């Protein structure tokens, strides 16, 4: 056992001390923070309010529209600064306003024609007419003013009508065994982030084991090592050592993710609620990474033993990657119907489980027996796969020369 530990220790230190590890471990959370917080901050950032003049040809709508515009707020700030248009004949005033807009003294002006109320129309002239969110806001403000005017014309109280015809605010609350919380689509973003993390780390650390095997073969150091301990022990030590390095990185990321999330929930509360990442989910996250790593990592290691160079490995890696890729493809389907029979079945398949069962855990709370069953099935598969991979490894590490075909490699399993 101490020998397996020596191998694992060497592997672990070699990975953890490398620059690549340091960079990716630090860079990962930074990118993650950017990915999760920036969009929320950015949508809140819309620059200074727009300076707008209202030119009213009808002579009656102006003050109402101006007032309605002034009331509009974004992130607690008035969105429009409304200036009164200079009095006087319409045509010269329009030319004057146009000048001001072009010179940059105004962002735009709103023109209400004499028949604005009848036609239910208004015109906006601005330097920028592609800022959809502002224009939408303006549209609403003008509409409200016009509708209010029509209602009072019919003898109805606009305030009362508004309160009677209020729209519905559909609150989305996710119920779980551990309580309820409001969700405005952030669950989806979270699942996307976590899936991407799982997928990339599994692929990256699987490839790391493979390259480590190839390197030892290229250096010819492997023969020296297996003269001291059996190939299967070397295989075990290697898998554990590289896995421990992966786990270190993954844990750093998971903790950062939780921290970012906690900070995000606190500071961005009002703007875009982030779902809280429960400790339970985090533990499951790390657990599924580990299970996925041993499942895919041992297959990668077997490939590494069969080839001479990383280039040769490419074509063999593809079939191993397939289930991982397939889980990514099935992701939207499982997310839309996480409890459908198909989703449940797929999430129990060991090769899909690391991604899909975890995804279901984010989306709904699958019954405990399903989670337990998927883990048990994975463990059983890992036992079988590592057994076969260790045999391929034992034969492969001393083979140099022509790259074996896939069927040939499978045949190695049967060889003692």
Partner 1 sequence: MGPIITQLSESAIQLSGVTKAFAGHVAVSDLSLAIPRGSVFGLLGPNGAGKTTTLRMVMDILGADAGTIEILGRRADQSTRDRVGYMPEERGLYPRMVVEEQLAFFAALKGVPRAEALRRVGPWLERLGLADWRKRKLNELSKGMQQKVQFVATVLPDPEILILDEPLSGLDPVAAGAMRETLLDLSRQGKTLVLSSHQMETVERLCDSIALIDRGRLLLDGPVREVKARHGKNTVVLAFDGDGAFLAGLPGVQRVTDFGRYVEIRLAPGSDPQGILREAAARLRLSRFEIVEPSLHDIFVEAVTAHGVAAA
Interface residues with partner 1 (CB under 8 A) are 2-3, 6-7, 10, 14, 216, 219-231, 398, 416
By C-alpha distance, which of 324, 200, 185, 189 is closest to 253? 200
Closest CB to partner 1 among residues 64, 216 = 216
By C-alpha distance, which of 295, 307, 297 is closest to 405? 307
* Least Cβ distance, residue 209 to partner 1 (angstroms): 16
Closest CB to partner 1 among residues 23, 345 = 23
Q: Give CA–CA dist 96/203, Å, rounded.
A: 64
Closest CB to partner 1 among residues 223, 339 = 223
Judging by DSSP bridges, how do beta strands 77-78 and 73-74 pair with one another? antiparallel
Closest CB to partner 1 among residues 270, 416 = 416
In a 10 Å sphere around its CB, with 0-12 CB exposed, 13-18 middle and 19+ buried, how is residue 312 labelled?
middle
* Least Cβ distance, residue 32 to partner 1 (angstroms): 30
Name every residue whose Cβ is closer than 8 Å to that of residue 1 and which is 6 or more positions away in sequence.
Answer: none
Closest CB to partner 1 among residues 221, 380 = 221
Classify each residue of 158-182 as buried b or exposed e, where b means 16 or more C-beta atoms within 10 Å of its C-beta.
beeeeeeeeeeeeeeeeeeeeeeee
∠ CA 243-246-250, nearest 5°, is: 135
Name every residue whose Cβ is closer than 8 Å to that of residue 95 and which is 6 or more positions away in sequence.
Answer: none
* Least Cβ distance, residue 411 to partner 1 (angstroms): 11
Distance of CA 215 to the CA centre of its chain: 34
**Torsions phi, psi for 316 (to 5 deg):** -80, -25
* Least Cβ distance, residue 234 to partner 1 (angstroms): 9
Closest CB to partner 1 among residues 166, 415 = 415
DSSP 66-129: HHHHHH-EETTEESEEEEEPPPS-HHHHHHHHHHHHHHTS-SEEEEE-TTHHHHT--EEEES--
* Least Cβ distance, residue 304 to partner 1 (angstroms): 16
Angle, nearest 10°, between helix axes 353-363 and 186-218? 160
Q: Please give the C-alpha separations between residue 33 and each of 10, 90, 197, 200, 234, in angstroms, as whole numbers.
A: 32, 53, 13, 17, 38
* Least Cβ distance, residue 176 to partner 1 (angstroms): 48
Q: Give CA–CA dist 224/238, Å, rounded.
A: 15
* Least Cβ distance, residue 404 to partner 1 (angstroms): 11
* Least Cβ distance, residue 230 to partner 1 (angstroms): 7
DSSP summary character for residue 58: S
* Least Cβ distance, residue 74 to partner 1 (angstroms): 55
Closest CB to partner 1 among residues 183, 215 = 215
* Least Cβ distance, residue 1 to partner 1 (angstroms): 11
């Amino acid at each position: 056992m101490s020998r397996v530990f020596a191998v694992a220790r060497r592997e672990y230190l070699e990975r953890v001390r490398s620059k690549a590890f340091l960079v990716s471990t630090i860079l990962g959370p930074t990118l993650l923070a950017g990915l999760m917080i920036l969009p929320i901050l950015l949508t809140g950032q819309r620059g200074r309010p727009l300076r707008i003049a209202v030119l009213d040809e009808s002579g009656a709508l102006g003050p109402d529209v101006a007032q309605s515009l002034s009331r509009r707020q974004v992130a607690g700030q008035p969105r429009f600064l409304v200036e009164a248009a200079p009095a006087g004949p319409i045509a010269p005033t329009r030319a004057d306003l146009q000048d001001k807009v072009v010179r940059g003294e105004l962002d735009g002006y709103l023109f209400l024609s004499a028949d604005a109320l009848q036609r239910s129309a208004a015109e906006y002239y601005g330097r920028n007419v592609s800022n959809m969110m502002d224009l939408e806001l303006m549209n609403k403000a003008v509409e409200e003013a016009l509708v209010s005017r029509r209602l009072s014309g019919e003898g109805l109280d606009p305030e009362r009508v508004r309160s009677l015809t209020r729209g519905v605010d559909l609150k989305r609350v996710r119920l779980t065994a551990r309580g309820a919380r409001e969700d405005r689509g952030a669950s989806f973003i979270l699942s996307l982030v976590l899936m991407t993390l799982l997928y990339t780390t599994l692929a990256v650390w699987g490839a790391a084991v493979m390259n480590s095997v190839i390197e030892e073969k290229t250096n010819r150091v492997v023969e020296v090592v297996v003269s001291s301990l059996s190939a299967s022990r070397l295989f075990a030590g290697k898998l554990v050592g590289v896995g421990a390095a992966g786990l270190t990185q993954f844990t750093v990321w998971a903790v950062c993710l939780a921290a970012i999330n906690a900070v995000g929930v606190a500071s961005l509360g009002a703007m875009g609620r982030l779902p809280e990442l429960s400790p339970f989910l985090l533990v499951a996250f790390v657990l599924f990474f580990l299970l996925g790593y041993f499942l895919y990592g041992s297959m990668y290691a077997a490939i590494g033993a069969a080839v001479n160079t990383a280039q040769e490995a490419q074509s063999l890696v593809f079939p191993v990657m397939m289930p991982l890729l397939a889980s990514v493809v099935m992701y939207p389907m499982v997310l839309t119907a996480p409890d459908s029979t198909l989703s449940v079945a797929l999430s129990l398949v060991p090769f899909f489980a690391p991604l899909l069962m975890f995804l279901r855990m984010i989306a709904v709370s699958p019954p405990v027996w399903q989670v337990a069953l998927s883990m048990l099935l994975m463990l059983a598969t890992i036992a079988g796969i590592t057994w076969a991979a260790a045999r391929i490894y034992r034969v492969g590490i001393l083979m140099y020369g022509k790259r074996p075909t896939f069927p040939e490699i499978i045949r190695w399993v049967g060889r003692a």
